[in-house]
Structure 1
Amino acid sequence: MFRVGLAMATGAVVGVCVYAISRTGGTYLFAIAGGLAGALVAVGLDAYRRSARLTEVRVTVPQLSELTFVVNNDARQVAWQLFIESVTRVSVQRLNDDEGLLREAMTSLYGLFATTRETLKVSRPSTQVSAGLTVEALAVNFLNAELRPFLSKWHPRLRAFEETHPDRPECQWPQAAQCRADLREVQAHSREYVLAFARLAGVRDAATMLGAAAPGPARHDSPMVPHARE
């Protein structure tokens, strides 16, 4: 009731002001109109400065140690999208030796690769700065230094086994144990990248969110098929 009463009172005051302005003529009317226009411009400029404001963030990622990144609101939004796309995938959820299938894991990683690349394609490039990296640089390094080497190495080998022995289960693949070992390493590195995306996006308790994500079968929300080539 208090909020309703306050809204009614505010509306009444605004109505009186509008009526008074409409009754004003000559110089006073132009002065009032100019003041309102200036206030709107000031509000717009302030909103623009807030969205364009650059902030330095320090994060640590595999193979690159601690780096300084420069982000604004647009970059934070991109980092948030990358974090959300990654957090529930097998790329950051440990796949034990007796859990899941390597084919499902690779399909999920291919989906993450494609989604990350598409997110970067449709996003506005970060503002050029003299010092500091951008969220795009982190994402590209994630693709080229972590996902691509693993997929390029193991996808053709697993596909060759599947095509040569279509009736044999994946667990009989002689290289399955080594592939899972490499997958665990990629998962550990990917987790650090996901935490870095979270830090750039300003996500609180990102580690808790990662820990709370229930392990299970790999996500299949990508249109890419298991045998697709990059």
Structure 2
Amino acid sequence: MRRLVVRLLAAAIVGALVGLATFQLTKVEGRWLFVVTGMVAGVAAVIAIQLYNKAARLTEVKVKVPQVSELTFVVNNESRHVAWKLFVETITRVSTQPLDEDEGLVREAMTSLYGLFSTTRDTLKASRPSSPVPGSQSVEHLAITMLNRELRPFLSKWHPRLREFEQGAPESPESAWEGNMECRTDLRQVQARIREYALGYAKLAGVREPEEMIKAPSEG
């Protein structure tokens, strides 16, 4: 309540000063009218430029992309926010946590990967596209690379096979599936690479010590 009163009082004072300045400006004639107008326009332009630079400040970041190479990315405040959202979505799923041979279910991990695919795509669709400088990449490039190089191939290969087993032997445990071990091997490799993408999002978002946030419980 006290803060609200202070803000209202400050707004009233500023409004009174602006009103007084406007009144005085209407009384100025001749060359001084142009001088004062120019000063006001100059100050307004400087303020506008400062606000724009703060919102659109570009930062160049080097990120190593799995199966590709190290690429240069250029981010601003908005793309940092997108990278942070993708980082959170990625590290809070089974998609980045190791699944041992005798632990968990492939179906759970696969559902998690599907969720990550959908959320990443929806996040990109809801965001405005970046305009990186020539020779650089954007956060969208990193996210789409993850979808097309990691998630889509794995899901396209293993989801139909697992579904066929589940439909053909609904009472059988997943361990009876003949593709279980091979799928888990592929899954561990995909998870390791997705962790690298998560670190890439963290770097673009400016997250400090992201490894500690991604670390699995068994690594603690």
TM-score above 0.5, yes or no? yes
2: distance between equivalents of 1:15 and 1:166?
A: 72
Is contact 1:86-1:112 (8 Å) kept? yes
What's the CA shift for 1:209? 1.0
Q: 1:45 is matched with which residue?
A: 49
What's the CA shift for 1:92? 0.7
Structure ranking higher on relative contact order (CA contacts 8 Å, 6+ apart) = 1
What's the CA shift for 1:99? 2.2
Question: Are 2:21 and 1:21 aligned?
Answer: yes
Q: 1:84 is matched with which residue?
A: 88
2: distance between equivalents of 1:63 and 1:121?
A: 25
How well do the aligned residues superpose, as a CA RMSD in angstroms? 2.8
Q: 1:228 is matched with which residue?
A: none
What's the CA shift for 1:44? 2.0
Q: 2:186 is matched with which residue?
A: 182
Is contact 1:80-1:201 (8 Å) kept? yes
| Matched AA of 1:106 | M
2: distance between equivalents of 1:124 and 1:81?
A: 14
Q: 1:155 aligns with which of 156, 159, 163?
A: 159
TM-score using structure 2 length: 0.82
Distance 1:99 1:40, change over 3 A: farther
Distance 1:62 1:23, change over 3 A: closer
Higher helix content, 1 or 2 = 2
Say which is worse superposed, 186-195 or 88-97, in terms of deviation.
88-97
Q: Flag structure 1 segments of 5+ consecutive residues without an equivalent.
A: 216-230
Is contact 1:21-1:29 (8 Å) kept? no
Distance 1:214 1:88, change over 3 A: farther
Alignment of 1:68-107 (within 5 A): 68-107=72-111
Q: Secondary structure at the match of 1:56?
A: strand
Distance 1:32 1:14, change over 3 A: farther
Q: 2:59 is matched with which residue?
A: 55
| Matched AA of 2:28 | G
Q: Secondary structure at the match of 1:129?
A: coil
TM-score using structure 1 length: 0.79
In the alignment of these two chains, the number of paired residues is: 210
Q: 1:114 is matched with which residue?
A: 118
2: distance between equivalents of 1:11 and 1:150?
A: 58
Distance 1:106 1:35, change over 3 A: same
Q: Secondary structure at the match of 1:26?
A: coil
What's the CA shift for 1:100? 1.8
Question: Are 2:205 and 1:201 aligned?
Answer: yes
2: distance between equivalents of 1:65 and 1:37?
A: 48
| Aligned-residue identity in percent | 55
1: distance between equivalents of 2:54 and 2:153?
A: 39
What's the CA shift for 1:52? 2.5
What's the CA shift for 1:46? 1.6
Deviations 1:16-70 (A, max 9, x none): 8457537633347886676445433322222212322322111112111211112
Is contact 1:57-1:68 (8 Å) kept? yes
Q: Secondary structure at the match of 1:125?
A: coil
Is contact 1:56-1:69 (8 Å) kept? yes
Question: Are 2:64 and 1:64 aligned?
Answer: no
